């Protein structure tokens, strides 16, 4: 088992929580990010900045039983198909029960934006997000 972090847009607090919990459970943390980011990790994989390059590398690293941290719903869907447990940096676990709804929502919002509409971005990160993430990751690891 390893924790794989899609680190291109991962908050630093989330990465620190992953590193701390990985030490507690004697597992490794792999981070994947484009060369535009400065990430400190024992197992850091640098990729180019081409579209989906980091996602492809995460998919290639992942094996059944691993844990992945990503904000990308499409990547989470593919990882779930490989038997990887997935959660986002806010502490919400992706599952086969909720991923279809999330992908439909993503498609509807994209369609709305293509027709000239505007959608809101993510809410500002708060301390509770770190607490939720830590609780979710702890539950997955135990």
Q: Model confidence over 100-137: pLDDT tens digits?
A: 877 788 788 888 889 999 888 778 889 999 999 999 99
**47 phi/psi in degrees, rounded to 5:** -125, 170
Other C-beta atoms lying within 10 Å of the C-beta of residue 99: 19
Q: Model confidence over 23-40: pLDDT tens digits?
A: 999 999 999 998 777 787
Q: Model confidence over 49-75: pLDDT tens digits?
A: 887 899 999 999 999 999 999 998 889
User: What domains lie within the chain, and their CATH numbers?
Assistant: 2-141 (3.40.50.20)
What is the C-alpha to C-alpha distance for residues 47 and 35, in angstroms, rounded to an integer? 6
Instruction: Of 73, 87, 69, give the one whose Cα is nearest residue 6.
Output: 69
């Amino acid at each position: 088992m390893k924790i794989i972090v899609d680190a291109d847009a991962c908050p630093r607090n989330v990465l620190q929580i992953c590193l701390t919990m990985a030490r507690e459970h004697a597992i490794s943390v792999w981070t994947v990010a484009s060369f535009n980011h400065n990430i400190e990790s024992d197992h850091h994989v640098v990729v180019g900045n081409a579209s989906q390059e980091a996602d492809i590398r995460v998919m290639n690293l992942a094996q059944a039983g691993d844990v992945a941290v990503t904000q990308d719903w499409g990547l989470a869907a593919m990882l779930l198909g490989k038997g990887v447990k997935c959660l986002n940096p806010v502490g919400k676990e992706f599952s086969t029960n909720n991923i279809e709804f999330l992908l439909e929502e993503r498609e509807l919002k994209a369609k709305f934006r293509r027709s000239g509409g505007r959608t809101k971005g993510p809410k500002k990160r708060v301390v509770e997000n770190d607490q939720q993430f830590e609780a979710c990751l702890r539950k997955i690891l135990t």
